[in-house]
Structure 1
Amino acid sequence: MGFIEGRLIRRSERCGSTRFIKRHKGDTLLVQIYVDDIIFGSTKKELCIEFEKLIKDKFQMSSMGELTFFLKLQVQQRKDGIFINQDKYVAEILSKFNYTDVKSASTPVDLEKPLVKDGDAQDVDVHLYRSMIGSLMYLTTSRPDIMFAVCACARFQVTPKTSHLLVVKRIFRYLKGKPTLGLWYSRNSPFELVAYTDSDYARATQDRKSTTRGCQFLGNRLISWQCKKQTVVATSTTEAEYVAAASCCGQVLWIQNQLLDYGYNFMNTMIHIDNNNTICIIENPVQHSKIKYIEIRHHFIRDCNAKRLIQMIKIDTEHNVTELLTKGFDAGRFQYLVSSIGMLNPYMPNSLWFCTVV
């Protein structure tokens, strides 16, 4: 689909061959193709109408109207912004696993019951456990509030125990109490790319590896987030933070390239981190003993900093919203972090209390 009826739509190489862009007198038409479904939008309504007519003339297709539902993602388009959630999918998986009548929980993780290998505990049904994890993993598309808990439980899919199943059940109980939470993308939010990165240190009890976490925002709109266990055991907190910062930098560079297709240049993006030693290593090009054990592939972040593609900013740990993706918290701290990343309940007017991260 490189052209239609002589009207050029440029393919975005950064997204493979599934996204196409057309610019016309300052307006932009975006077309995203997924298998046999097409999503398109424009800064000018007339371009959407023209494209819809054109595609219907060339192919046997039907229009579903304004985007409200796609791959179990619910999209509510309002005058003041867009809200994305999956409450219908939450109701579906609660019913599937018989959790519609359970007592709800205020957080997805019980701080008094840490997740460990627990080799002496009784085995559980592997197929049931994996099915529950798979359902929850798909839900993390719009629910970063459960991402840490789900990723932690996913590490025990080979030989799940009763203690692991209890943690998974806790996540379902949390969803029972907060089924409609989703991401709010305000129309009036500042339009600037900012990122946050952090890491725990050797928190994985079974292999002592650290967890990388990162969040990327456009203003106060959360557009990307990561929670992933690092591939090697870090020898210090600084090394774990440095590897996490490099991972976040790679994601920022990818987003920068994506935004170039929309005509936005976000060079010198701020990446917030709460570790001074990591900032010093990134800004100091001299090789020294503190970094000689860090794999070379992570050092590209120093080159990005020197070229002003990014800049590292020190913030206090209490303001680092990526903590939500690495460990459990009490209800008060957890609720603060959830609101800070822009999650809300659309059916409760008083829930529009999310704050701008600083």
Structure 2
Amino acid sequence: MKENAVSREKGKLFPKEPTKSASTPTDLERPLVKDSDADDVDEHLYRSMIGSLMYLTASRPDIMFAVCACARFQVSPKTSHLLAVKRIFRYLKGKPSLGLWYSKDSPLELVAYTDSDYAGATLDRKSTTGGCQFLGNRLISWQCKKQTVVATSTTEAEYVAAANCCGQVLWIQNQLLDYGYNFMSTIIYIDNTSTICIIENPVQHSKTKHIEIRHHFIRDCNTKKLIQMAKIDTQLNVADLLTKGFDAGRFQYLVSSIGMLNP
């Protein structure tokens, strides 16, 4: 009986007739919610689909946010969640050759971008952290993660995201030291001026006492010149791709900006 249910779900997911591809992996008109009134879908099928997509995110950062958003509903997935996963597959179908391009003449310089989507998670209103690290114009690392605490301001959400990105930068710096490359004072681009002021000011202001202590190590890294924060316009912050969904125009711009090409 269980196999028949799985077969029916697979038949719905992979119909024999041609399916229309999607221009983006997320549907802005249908945000993911708990949707308790909708019908249940097979959990094993849903989780296997998410597992396959998570494996693919190792080489396709363009679907990273969409997959992570769908992965939050693995406990009791509904039909709306399955439709969201199907849209990711339809997007992949339309761009099977899209991938990261590493040019040989790119300068050898470590830079990073960080961003957050304030209260972007619909279930618990937690923010989403996004970060990506480049070696020249080559994307070598990227992150998309829901924050563990509920941020009370945009600045707090950006500060937590910056600390997360700083930790990844320090790890990359240590790895590259083994190969004889010293990339201290790595620039981390962020589009929030208040966050930069908090990081560069070692004084513990009363308005930042609610931020967990473990995130404040970024101040010490800034003092030791391991990193340096730099302001960037929001429209140019490529880490935005890992924090929320976009329309087709903005999405395609961000995908090309991180070095993904469709030969």
- Using the size of structure 2 for normalisation, the TM-score is 0.94
Match of 2:212 among 282, 292, 295: 295
Q: Cα RMSD between the aligned structures?
A: 1.3
Matched, 1:243 2:156: no
Native 8 Å contact 1:209 1:232 kept in 2: yes
Partners of 1:207 and 1:332 in 2: CA distance: 29
Match of 1:129 among 46, 70, 84: 46
Native 8 Å contact 1:99 1:176 kept in 2: no
String of CA shifts for 1:211-264, please: whole Å, max 9, x gaps. 111000001000000000001111111110000000000000000000001110
Matches of residues 185-334 of structure 1 in structure 2 within 5 Å? 185-334=102-251
Match of 2:83 among 166, 183, 196: 166
Matches of residues 339-350 of structure 1 in structure 2 within 5 Å? 339-346=256-263
SS of the equivalent of 2:203 reads coil
Match of 1:118 among 35, 47, 58: 35
Partners of 2:175 and 2:247 in 1: CA distance: 37
SS of the equivalent of 1:262 reads coil
Return the letter of the residue paired with 2:242: L
Task: Kindly tell me the number of residue pairs found equivalent between the two proteins.
Answer: 252
Which runs of 5 or more structure 1 residues have no equivalent in the other structure?
A: 1-93, 347-358
Return the letter of the residue paired with 1:211: T
Native 8 Å contact 1:216 1:223 kept in 2: yes
- Using the size of structure 1 for normalisation, the TM-score is 0.69
Deviation of 1:169 after TM superposition, in Å, equals 0.5
Select the structure with the greater relative contact order (CA < 8 A; seq sep ≥ 6): 2
Partners of 1:197 and 1:311 in 2: CA distance: 13
Match of 2:63 among 142, 146, 153: 146
Match of 2:19 among 95, 99, 102: 102
Partners of 1:261 and 1:119 in 2: CA distance: 51
Partners of 2:227 and 2:118 in 1: CA distance: 24
Deviation of 1:98 after TM superposition, in Å, equals 2.3
String of CA shifts for 1:189-226, please: whole Å, max 9, x gaps. 11100000010111111111001110000010000000
SS of the equivalent of 1:138 reads helix
Which runs of 5 or more structure 2 residues have no equivalent in the other structure?
A: 1-9
Structure 1 stretches of at least 4 aligned residues deviating more than 4 Å after TM superposition? none
Return the letter of the residue paired with 1:108: P
Deviation of 1:99 after TM superposition, in Å, equals 6.2
What fraction of aligned residue pairs are identical, expressed as a percent? 85
1:283 to 1:119, Cα distance in 2 relative to 1, 3 A: same
Partners of 2:228 and 2:116 in 1: CA distance: 18
